[in-house]
C-alpha cells in the first residue's frame, strides 16, 4: 500500500507542516490563508508518495481565499 504525505510549504521552500490525511491538510491550509490572507500567495500544499514522487495536483493557498 502506498502512503501519501500532504505537505504545506511556503514560497521559500520551508516546510510549514505535514499530514497523512488530505482533508486535514486542506483544512490546515485554509486556516492559514483565513488567518493571514496576505500570505495566501506564499503557501501551497503538495502530495507525495512514500518514494517522494509528487501525486495529484498542487493546491495554492490563493485558490482558497474567499472572493
**43 or 1: which leads in pLDDT:** 43
Banded model confidence at residue 57, pLDDT cuts 50, 70, 90: very high
- Beta carbons within 10 angstroms of residue 39's beta carbon: 15
pTM: 0.91
Q: Residue 5 to residues 13, 23, 39, 48, 49: CA-CA distances in angstroms?
A: 16, 12, 22, 5, 6
pLDDT value of residue 67: 54
Amino acid at each position: 500500500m502506498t502512503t501519501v504525505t500532504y505537505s504545506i510549504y511556503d514560497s521559500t521552500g520551508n516546510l510549514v507542516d505535514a499530514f497523512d490525511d488530505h482533508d486535514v491538510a486542506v483544512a490546515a491550509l485554509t486556516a492559514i490563508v483565513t488567518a493571514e490572507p496576505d500570505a495566501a500567495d506564499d503557501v501551497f500544499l503538495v502530495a507525495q508518495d512514500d518514494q517522494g514522487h509528487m501525486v495529484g495536483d498542487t493546491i495554492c493557498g490563493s485558490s482558497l481565499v474567499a472572493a
